[in-house]
Structure 1
Amino acid sequence: MQLQQVLMLSRHNLRAPLANNGSVLEQSTKKSWPQWDVAGGELTTKGGVLEVYMGNYTRQWLAQQGLVQNGTCPDSSNIFVYANSLQRTVATAQYFITGAFPGCDIAVTHQDAMGTMDPIFNPVVTDGSDEFNKKALAAMTAANEKLALKPAFQHLEKIVDYKSAPACNGKKQCDLSSGDNTFSADNGKEPNVSGPLKIGNSLVDAFTLQYYEGFPADQVAWGQIKTPEQWKELASIKNGYQDALFASPEVAREVAAPLVDYIRSQLVDQDKANAPKVTLMVGHDSNIASLLSALQVKPYELPGNDEKTPIGGQVVFERWHDVKNNKDLLKIEYVYQTADQLRDADVLSLKNPPKRVTLQLAGCETDANGYCSWDQFTGALNGALQGTPLQPAVAPAPAEQPAPAAAAPAADDAKQKADQAAADKAAADKAAADKAAAQKAADAKAAEEKVKADKAAAQKAADEKAKAEKATAQKAADDKAKADAAAAQKAQADATPAKPEEPAKAATNN
Structure 2
Amino acid sequence: MKTTVRERNIWSLLVWAWLLAFPAHATENAAPGALRLVIVLSRHGVRSPTTAPARLDAYSRDAWPAWPVPPGYLTPHGKQLMAIMGHWYRAHYAQAGLLPADGCVASALSVVADDEQRTIESAHGMMDGFDPHCPVTIQVAPRKGADALFAHDFSSASAISRDQAQAAVLGRIGGDAARMALANAGLIEQMESVLMDCAPGHCDASKAPGKKWLMDQPASVTPGQGDELLGIKSPLHNASSLAEDMYLEYVEGMPMAKVAWGRVSPPQLGHLLALHSIYADTSLRTPIVARAYAGHLAQRLLATLQEAAGSKDQQAMGSPKAKIVFLLGHDTQIETLAGLLDLHWLLPEPPADPASVGGALVFELRRHGSSDRYDVRAYYVSQSMDQLRNGMELDAAHPPQIAPIFIPGCSTSAPGYDCPLGRFATTITQALPAAEPVQQ
Alpha-carbon deviations, 1:343-387, whole Å to 9, x = none?
121102466421111111111123230212111111122222241
* Equivalent residue number for residue 283 of structure 1: 329
Trace 1:32-47 onto structure 2 (pairs within 5 A). Answer: 32-47=63-78
Alpha-carbon deviations, 1:435-458, whole Å to 9, x = none?
xxxxxxxxxxxxxxxxxxxxxxxx
* Equivalent residue number for residue 157 of structure 1: 192
Q: 1:94 aligns with which of 124, 131, 155?
A: 124
* Equivalent residue number for residue 21 of structure 1: 53
Distance in 2 separating the partners of 1:384 and 1:168: 49
- Taking a change above 3 Å as real, the CA distance of residues 280 and 314 of structure 1, as seen in their structure-2 partners, is same
Tell me whether 1:81 sits opposite 2:111 in the alignment: yes
Q: 2:168 aligns with which of 117, 121, 139?
A: 139
Tell me whether 1:194 sits opposite 2:239 in the alignment: no
Q: 1:205 aligns with which of 212, 219, 244?
A: 244
Tell me whether 1:293 sits opposite 2:339 in the alignment: yes
- Taking a change above 3 Å as real, the CA distance of residues 207 and 117 of structure 1, as seen in their structure-2 partners, is farther
Residue segments in structure 2 that go unaligned for 5+ positions in a row: 1-28, 174-178, 197-202, 312-319
**Displacement, 1:258?**
2.0
Query: What amino acid does structure 1 have at the position aligned with 2:123?
Result: A
Trace 1:241-260 onto structure 2 (pairs within 5 A). Answer: 241-260=279-298
* Equivalent residue number for residue 89 of structure 2: 58
* Equivalent residue number for residue 347 of structure 2: 302
**Displacement, 1:60?**
0.3
* Equivalent residue number for residue 493 of structure 1: none
* Equivalent residue number for residue 432 of structure 2: 385
Secondary structure at 2:214 match in 1: coil
Distance in 1 separating the partners of 2:146 and 2:186: 36
- Taking a change above 3 Å as real, the CA distance of residues 212 and 118 of structure 1, as seen in their structure-2 partners, is farther
Trace 1:315-330 onto structure 2 (pairs within 5 A). Answer: 315-323=361-369, 326-330=372-376
* Equivalent residue number for residue 210 of structure 2: 169
Secondary structure at 1:22 match in 2: helix
Alpha-carbon deviations, 1:13-48, whole Å to 9, x = none?
10011111332x122124111111111111011111
Tell me whether 1:105 sits opposite 2:105 in the alignment: no
- Taking a change above 3 Å as real, the CA distance of residues 124 and 378 of structure 1, as seen in their structure-2 partners, is same
Query: What amino acid does structure 2 have at the position aligned with 1:67?
Result: L
Alpha-carbon deviations, 1:38-70, whole Å to 9, x = none?
111110111111111100010001101111101
TM-score by length of 2: 0.80
Distance in 2 separating the partners of 1:270 and 1:59: 20
Alpha-carbon deviations, 1:301-354, whole Å to 9, x = none?
122353611110010000011217652111001011111111121102466421
* Equivalent residue number for residue 182 of structure 1: 220
Secondary structure at 2:127 match in 1: helix
**Displacement, 1:192?**
3.5
Query: What amino acid does structure 2 have at the position aligned with 1:322?
Result: H
Query: What amino acid does structure 2 have at the position aligned with 1:222?
Result: W
**Displacement, 1:133?**
2.6
Percent identity of equivalent pairs: 27
Query: What amino acid does structure 2 have at the position aligned with 1:376?
Result: R
Contact 2:292 2:433 (8 Å CA) reproduced:
no
What is the number of equivalent residue pairs in this alignment?
385
- Taking a change above 3 Å as real, the CA distance of residues 21 and 355 of structure 1, as seen in their structure-2 partners, is closer
Contact 2:184 2:236 (8 Å CA) reproduced:
no
Greater helix fraction, Structure 1 or Structure 2: 1
Tell me whether 1:338 sits opposite 2:369 in the alignment: no
Distance in 1 separating the partners of 2:180 and 2:237: 16
- Taking a change above 3 Å as real, the CA distance of residues 266 and 305 of structure 1, as seen in their structure-2 partners, is same
CA RMSD in angstroms, aligned pairs only: 3.0
Bigger drift between 309-318 and 250-259 goes to 250-259
Contact 1:260 1:384 (8 Å CA) reproduced:
no
Query: What amino acid does structure 1 have at the position aligned with 2:345?
Result: Y
Query: What amino acid does structure 2 have at the position aligned with 1:169?
Result: G
* Equivalent residue number for residue 466 of structure 1: none
Bigger drift between 339-348 and 174-183 goes to 174-183
Residue segments in structure 1 that go unaligned for 5+ positions in a row: 397-425, 430-510
- Taking a change above 3 Å as real, the CA distance of residues 166 and 331 of structure 1, as seen in their structure-2 partners, is farther
Contact 1:29 1:166 (8 Å CA) reproduced:
no
Tell me whether 1:268 sits opposite 2:294 in the alignment: no
Alpha-carbon deviations, 1:264-299, whole Å to 9, x = none?
2222246649341110000000111001111222x3
**Displacement, 1:214?**
1.1
Secondary structure at 2:166 match in 1: helix
**Displacement, 1:221?**
0.5
Contact 1:260 1:291 (8 Å CA) reproduced:
yes
Secondary structure at 2:394 match in 1: coil
Tell me whether 1:4 sits opposite 2:36 in the alignment: yes
Secondary structure at 1:199 match in 2: helix
